[in-house]
A and B are shown apart, each in its own frame.
Chain A
């Protein structure tokens, strides 16, 4: 038997008493957790002092697929797991810098190959079981196991060789890297440390990937995050409760988190989320579109709306530059002749009115984009990257240089012809469920009409769009967006490298198709293993300039991160990195508990 879970409806004192009693008298008979009497080293967080209690309700776009950090890929799962798990070193989403988490300190050897991490003492999982170095060793053994198929596994490989780790004592772990790694201690962010006492048996039986379904019983799941599993109602909500063993405290020494409960409601559409927020059913809202944001700010009620500034989402247009196979339709092969011409792509880029995209699609709440790194990424942005304004003249000159010409019909409509006299016509696919990108495509269509290109916008259902772009490669051009999950550029490595799966214009190449792609590969590989930030930045800037020169991705715009919260939510400080509002969930509190307690 495990320590009893008290019902949350009972008073707090009863809860605590029961808990103490349970902890004292109902210790499990088999596999008893080793006693851990060392003093707890809590991490003290600065910030507004809150008071305990209450619950916070958040809407999720979809039901999370899993609670298991080993297999989670979808955003809702990651958001929930973020509140239930913790990592060794954490990236502060507000400062975008690393700070101690489960590891209270770390040392990097002068050659950059050995990382020594010291764990906080007195750490416990949310089921009361103490954590030590063995759990960390177990965690990385599982992540590195090929049979588990953890999606993040690649990040632990350096030129195909895995990192290795050993413990020197129960608090100290030494990571040995095969090569120096530029990302340094940031690489420890996001690796949820797993409870060996719960997962070792399933792992050895090969069943670890099946664990973590939402219907898991609360006492069969544990983490190191501020909240732990309480209840799951299929199709409606997932309720997390306060982890009483959490390892952070506020400046007065009160153990965090403040909230008793964190409730995730499953609300499928963005508009429905806005309505729920407006009616007061949810307490915070994020991932808002500009239109909904201005609706909410116009009729401001008892909530505050915050524009956190440009985020890490980059939207871009790209042409199909993949190698044709026997199955590729002849028209696409024919059009690819234009697309492969760098001047054609440069002309398209010059003709696009990015300012109009920011104004009409994001209502001015966004930034025009000329490179992959968004203005939200203050540290890595390339300030020297030129921002040429829209110029149809330049576009026309470029097209002329590439051998294109124009004819005009009797009613004044001009048509662009290629060197063989064929009119330039192609289609742009976009996701029909994303109104923003469909709008961008419509604006681009109009921009390019002025160059005499006839562009058809084809909205496709998202899955069939991805299938076309990454599998069948039967498309001409596509407007898509991506979000970097971290400020370090290494998270986008699969976009940059020609062998990467999200190198969208020509994914998963065996060998780089063009000299400039080979050069980008070299630069990106080199910066990954460079030692200092300055060296990396220089290499990375060069890679960005190559992208700008050859325009395989024509960058369009980056939207601001738009969020809102009830006025009663304290410590609400949205960040531009995911999870935008819940990154400091342990510090969030409700200013007047009474209102919420009666709900």
Chain B
């Protein structure tokens, strides 16, 4: 009972988080590509309830920030200009779920832009970029992990179950894939592709590349599990009673691999989001100005950004609940799959 409740708990968290990303247009206050060139590297605005004279306001507000004299990136609060937070405001155009045109946003401010997570080098709103970026990265990561795990499962199961020359062939192939110098292959791949890759093509390209690179490791893991599972007594007994290969795989062997696969998937999603960053560097990722989590993190590769603008870390922090959600779900599912194993 406890396990099931925990699973649904994690699911609720994940669904809620994904809904934010899915309905990014509504939750994000601004267009993620819109540049505000007067406000590069603006720190997150603080929301106040008390103004500087001590008066309480029921509606939270932020003070406008203005550039300090003679500076490029130092801002000071302008306490004469309060920006009250408004809900359900009309703003930039977007299409809800890519279909319904709308202008409604969860929150915003009048006349002036409000930056709850600060702005990046071009004065683009980090919060909007995070939400929109999640669409690309989460779904590329998820799809990539799915493809990887599925490929790994098929190859690993075939190799482990049938053994012999098939095993040799598939596992040598896996080793070949692990040993390939991927960076240089990707360079070569880049040279063959057309120069400008649109965001949608880039998305599928990322999924394909991630899947192609990643399958070998889960395949080896699955093969190991299958090898040991097929020699278990109950499997032998079932085979003795005349069970077919298909039945054995489906009923006894593949379920044994689920825990390995789920943990793999939970680890792969965050990994793939980082991999997307590398792909962007090679010109294979999501092109500017379209945001993705990889793009957001890539600015952290610069030392000056690391030490000067702490809010550039925030996207990384907000990604944590997503990853924790996956890991939590993965471990709960694993416990449910092998309930007798936990009572040690």
User: Are both chains from one complex?
Assistant: yes
**Which A residues have a C-beta under 8 Å from some C-beta of B?**
271, 274-275, 289, 291-292, 294-295, 298, 353, 356, 359-360, 363-364, 410-412, 425-427, 429, 432, 435, 438-439, 441-443, 445-446, 456-461, 464, 468, 474-476
Q: Which residues of B contact A359 (CB under 8 A)?
A: 37, 40, 72
Contact assessment for B302 and A271 in the assembled complex, using a CB-CB cutoff below 8 Å: yes
Q: Which residues of B contact A274 (CB under 8 A)?
A: 303-304
Distance in angstroms between the alpha carbons of A271 and B300 in the assembled complex: 12
Distance in angstroms between the alpha carbons of A234 and B195 in the assembled complex: 38
Q: Which residues of B contact A457 (CB under 8 A)?
A: 287-289
Distance in angstroms between the alpha carbons of A476 and B305 in the assembled complex: 31
Answer whether A364 and B195 are a contact pair too, CB < 8 Å, given A411-B93, A457-B287. Answer: no
Binary flags per residue of B2-18, CB closer than 8 Å to A gives 1, else 0:
00000000000000000
Complex: chain A residue closest to B37, CB-CB: A356
Contact assessment for A295 and B195 in the assembled complex, using a CB-CB cutoff below 8 Å: no
Shortest A355–chain B CB gap in Å is 9
Complex: chain A residue closest to B287, CB-CB: A456
Q: Which residues of B contact A464 (CB under 8 A)?
A: 187, 190-191
Complex: chain A residue closest to B303, CB-CB: A271
Q: Which residues of B contact A446 (CB under 8 A)?
A: 33, 35, 122, 289
Shortest B122–chain A CB gap in Å is 6
Answer whether A291 and B196 are a contact pair too, CB < 8 Å, given A432-B281, A458-B283, A464-B191. Answer: no
Contact assessment for B195 and A292 in the assembled complex, using a CB-CB cutoff below 8 Å: no
Q: Flag whether B73 is at the interface (Cβ < 8 A).
A: yes
Q: Which of B93, B283, B304 contacts A291 (CB 8 A)?
A: B304
Contact assessment for A292 and B122 in the assembled complex, using a CB-CB cutoff below 8 Å: no
Q: Which residues of A contact B287 (CB under 8 A)?
A: 456-458
Interchain Cβ contacts under 8 Å between A and B, 21 examples: A274-B304, A294-B72, A298-B308, A353-B37, A359-B37, A360-B37, A360-B122, A411-B101, A412-B93, A439-B121, A441-B288, A445-B289, A446-B33, A456-B287, A457-B287, A458-B195, A458-B197, A458-B283, A460-B283, A461-B282, A461-B283
Contact assessment for B282 and A432 in the assembled complex, using a CB-CB cutoff below 8 Å: yes
Chain B, 266-311, CB within 8 A of any chain A CB: 280-283, 287-289, 302-305, 307-308
Q: Which 4 A-B pairs have the closest CB atoms?
A: A291-B304, A271-B303, A427-B196, A456-B196
Contact assessment for B303 and A442 in the assembled complex, using a CB-CB cutoff below 8 Å: no
Q: Which residues of A contact B197 (CB under 8 A)?
A: 456, 458
Shortest A100–chain B CB gap in Å is 42
Q: Which residues of A contact B304 (CB under 8 A)?
A: 271, 274, 289, 291-292, 294-295
Shortest A559–chain B CB gap in Å is 14
Contact assessment for A427 and B72 in the assembled complex, using a CB-CB cutoff below 8 Å: no
Chain B, 1-45, CB within 8 A of any chain A CB: 33, 35, 37, 40
Contact assessment for B72 and A364 in the assembled complex, using a CB-CB cutoff below 8 Å: yes
Binary flags per residue of B82-108, CB closer than 8 Å to A gives 1, else 0:
000000000001010000010000000
Complex: chain B residue closest to A467, CB-CB: B191
Distance in angstroms between the alpha carbons of A496 and B72 in the assembled complex: 35
Shortest A176–chain B CB gap in Å is 50
Shortest A442–chain B CB gap in Å is 5
Answer whether A435 and B122 are a contact pair too, CB < 8 Å, given A427-B196, A458-B283, A474-B195. Answer: no
Shortest A284–chain B CB gap in Å is 18
Complex: chain A residue closest to B309, CB-CB: A291
Q: Which residues of B contact A443 (CB under 8 A)?
A: 35, 122
> Residue among B93, B198, B283, B289 with the most chain A CB within 10 A?
B283
Answer whether A442 and B288 are a contact pair too, CB < 8 Å, given A291-B308, A432-B281, A475-B195. Answer: yes
Answer whether A429 and B37 are a contact pair too, CB < 8 Å, given A271-B302, A411-B93, A442-B288. Answer: no
Q: Which of B40, B122, B280 contacts A442 (CB 8 A)?
A: B122
Complex: chain B residue closest to A332, CB-CB: B195
Extra 4 A-B pairs, beta carbons < 8 Å, given A442-B122, A456-B196, A457-B287: A291-B304, A298-B308, A446-B289, A456-B198
Contact assessment for B73 and A363 in the assembled complex, using a CB-CB cutoff below 8 Å: yes
Distance in angstroms between the alpha carbons of A468 and B191 in the assembled complex: 10
